[in-house]
Amino acid sequence: MTLACPFGTHRVLEPAGALPQGAKRLDNRMEIHSNEILVDCETLNIDSASFTQIRQEAGDDKGRIAQIMLDIVKQRGKHHNPVTGSGGMFIGTVKAIGDSLQGQRDLNVGDRIASLVSLTLTPLVIESIEAIHLDTAQVDIKGQAVLFESGIYAVLPPDLPQKLALAALDVAGAPAQTAKLVRPGGTVLIVGAGGKSGSLCLHEAKKRAGVSGTVIAMDYGAAAVKRIEQLELADVILDLDATKPVECLRALQGATGGGLADLTINCVNIPQTEMTSILCTRDGGTVYFFSMATSFTAAALGAEGVGKDVNMLIGNGYTKNHAEITLQVLRENPRLRQQFMEIYA
């Protein structure tokens, strides 16, 4: 086995000099180098924005969805949606560990792991698609993937069902970043609070803002509102279409006596919600765009256009200890865990 670039640049076929995430095409041959890990994949958790786009393109036809996914991997050597630019993550069983990594990590052949790096940079082969779960964005496959030396992962915990852990770990950056950003006594708005990442963020927001803080949940539709109500984490719930920023601003001000959020967390899986997040945040406040449907051009130019001086953060899917923080949320919150069990397990 030969030692390769720890970041995976040796797998990039096009363009030369790119990192794997930004590459158009990767070498997805499954013969590993001495600092790579080979995994037999069982389930892909497709990024919400990506899966929503694929479903819309396929008209919810599972055969078409499967074909679109297979075509993406065939063309790119990875599951990197060319429309949304996003991917997802996988769970699987470690098949082989390169010689130079053996003994350096708490990992063994046969361990079941969840990848904590995006499918947009992961060499992947899909031999067959076994099942597509429309409600959870999870796709059961037979296939293999390669993790680079720099790639992070989590050994699946024994106390949580695997697909439950996968669903949570797919969005682990969101609640972990929320835990870092929320201040005691602050007003926190979560846009898309009824979804997977949004509900995890609700828990951390309520926990960190404390009894003197205010947590506002915004989502659209009776089903999402019902999920939020069941969690009993939001002080205010707004049933609003986040693609209509002025309506959302007026509703927020009406519910808070004219106040705005100190921190807004955007977890929506559709485009054109940037301005709702920006308008609903006070000058000097922070907007955390976790959603991969975000247009950062729209956010930057839109904030300029309405004269809003807000700090805008890109939704980095990684922060220190994010996997541990996110799994702990499910352990701490029985209502949230039960909701995840009903949807994902």
Residue ranges of domains in the chain: 9-156, 173-344
Q: In whole angstroms, how large is the CA radius of gyration of the chain?
A: 20
For the segment 303-316, the average pLDDT, to the nearest whole number, is 94
Task: Note the pTM of the prediction, 2 decimals.
Answer: 0.85
Band of pLDDT at residue 162, cut at 50, 70 and 90: confident
Is 13's pLDDT higher than 90? Answer: yes
CA 107/CA 228 separation, integer angstroms: 37
Whether the per-residue pLDDT at 343 is higher than 70: the answer is yes
What is the reported pLDDT for 1?
A: 63
Q: How many CB atoms lie within 10 A of CB 130?
A: 13
Render pLDDT for 174-200 as a digit per residue (tens, 0 to 9): 999 999 999 999 999 999 999 999 999
The domain 173-344 having CATH identifier 3.40.50.720: the answer here is yes
Q: What is the pLDDT of residue 166?
A: 86
Sheet holding 112-115, edge to edge: 124-133, 138-147, 37-46, 88-97, 112-115, 153-155
Q: 15-71, pLDDT tens digit by residue?
A: 989 999 999 999 999 999 999 999 999 999 999 889 999 999 999 999 999 999 999
Instruction: Give the confidence band of 85 by pLDDT, cuts at 50, 70, 90.
Output: very high
pLDDT, residue 38, reads 98
Predicted confidence (pLDDT) at residue 2 exceeds the cutoff of 90:
no
Model confidence band, residue 345 (pLDDT cutoffs 50, 70, 90): confident
Q: Is pLDDT at 103 greater than 80 in this prediction?
A: no
> How far apart, in Å, are the Cα atoms of 282 and each of 106, 192, 244?
45, 19, 18
